[in-house]
A = this chain, B = another copy of it.
């Protein structure tokens, strides 16, 4: 820990607790340190496991990510997706069947080649880097008729990729946790409707529940998923202004259907190829956005819905009145029975120390109860986002928690939305583009094309400016503005794109 010298306003005004500060780093100016330290201090993951790029995820992140899985799975099930568990291993002969897919993934594969004491397996098996080549061979067995379509599946699973870039916990590691959906459709139009549905799931879950704002882009043709006709991906920002990709969804067309013989008989009895789509919300990477978007200089701040502990009850001065602990436990049991994740901190730490600890951990609501409160049949309710305390009548506690929980999550989302909007700025030429992306901005500008004829300008952006073209947004039809010239080649712009530095 490197405590920040500059005291922030809050700690100045409450300097009675100053000596107990356990986390204080300026997120905006020292984001890289902040991110590393909060993972350690809040015990989110331990990096000391002895395989490079592999983490041990600890309870405080696992509990939140389990809640995140639940929200995504419920949304997918509601849309008709059914859950599967596929093998973690994929035969090499499957993985190498679709030519673009091979090129994209084989360099990153971990291979299982032996068993027991140096005995060779019949063929090498890939630890799945993604599961198209596991799912679609089975689709070819199961899907026979147009009546079997749409065929909507998903699995929650981890995947393994031998990343050659520097790994970063939660953001880019060699093992990560995700959901992958795989679907089959009668035609491209049904497939595209489903891809739009994936974007709506992203909005309902990642934005509305987790509070992470994003823009869904159609990726340029030179930046597609290996084996897709078209890739759509949600980009959001990190506090240092870098762009990070969150869920992506892909129009796979009939590439995998051809490779794995996925065919069905249509209404007139004709044999047709199945159209596939897949969607991949990466839970462990989304968790990185949850902690870095919502956290502040004191530590984590969880949206109520996915907090590992939603309400922490801290008894105060219990030695003066033993009924304090009994009351704390009684409240805990009452709240627990309503389905809340609630705990009592009955450790022998001083109150200030407990407060700092649970604030650092990001617990949304703290309930304080001491002899004074006991006498008056009240409790104090502290909110992590506003840092305010309110006296609540004991009988109104559940209502107050629900109301504050709702407001807190909405407030975190609003603060995140504002941050995101603030970084988006228009550039009318290359000079402005460079200024914006070097100033932690996400630049909106005219561009010649996101088809392959735009690849050369994109290369200039990457090599000379150190940024990437993220694509054309999907939710709005944006027309070239101002000069209507590509910011790089000055040719007539065909499209408005967003450019930023990539994480």
Contacts and interface: CB of A to CB of B under 8 A. Distances in A.
A115 interface: yes
Interface residues of A, number: 51
Interface string A95-128: 0000000000011111111111100010011010
Given A57-B85, A88-B158, A160-B88, A111 B110 contact: no
B175 A88 contact: yes
A93 B51 CA distance: 11
B56 A86 contact: yes
B87 A112 contact: no
A66 B70 CA distance: 11
Interface in A45-71: 46, 48-51, 54-59, 62-63, 66
A84 interface: yes
A258 interface: no
A22 interface: no
A91 interface: yes
Interface SS of chain A:
mixed
Interface stretch (A134-142, A326-334, A438-446, A466-474): A134-142
A51 B110 contact: no
Contacts of A177: 85
Nearest to A164: B116
A83 interface: yes
A177 B155 CA distance: 14
A106 B115 CA distance: 8
A50 B113 contact: no
Nearest to A138: B56
Contacts of A108: 115-116
Contacts of A142: 46
B57 A84 contact: yes
A42 B277 CA distance: 27
Contact of A46 (B51, B91, B117, B141): B141
A201 interface: no
Given A49-B134, A138-B46, A138-B48, A115 B125 contact: no
A89 interface: yes
A75 B121 CA distance: 39
Q: Which 9 A-B pairs have the closest CB atoms?
A: A59-B82, A57-B85, A115-B162, A54-B87, A111-B114, A62-B83, A107-B116, A113-B113, A110-B112
30 contacts: A46-B138, A46-B142, A48-B138, A48-B141, A49-B86, A49-B138, A50-B94, A51-B89, A51-B91, A56-B84, A56-B87, A57-B85, A62-B83, A62-B85, A66-B83, A87-B175, A88-B88, A88-B127, A88-B160, A89-B160, A106-B116, A108-B116, A109-B115, A110-B115, A110-B125, A111-B112, A111-B113, A112-B112, A112-B113, A127-B127
Given A88-B158, A111-B112, A127-B127, 20 more contacts: A46-B138, A46-B141, A49-B134, A50-B94, A54-B87, A56-B84, A56-B85, A57-B86, A58-B84, A59-B83, A85-B158, A85-B177, A89-B160, A106-B117, A109-B115, A110-B112, A112-B112, A112-B113, A113-B113, A115-B162
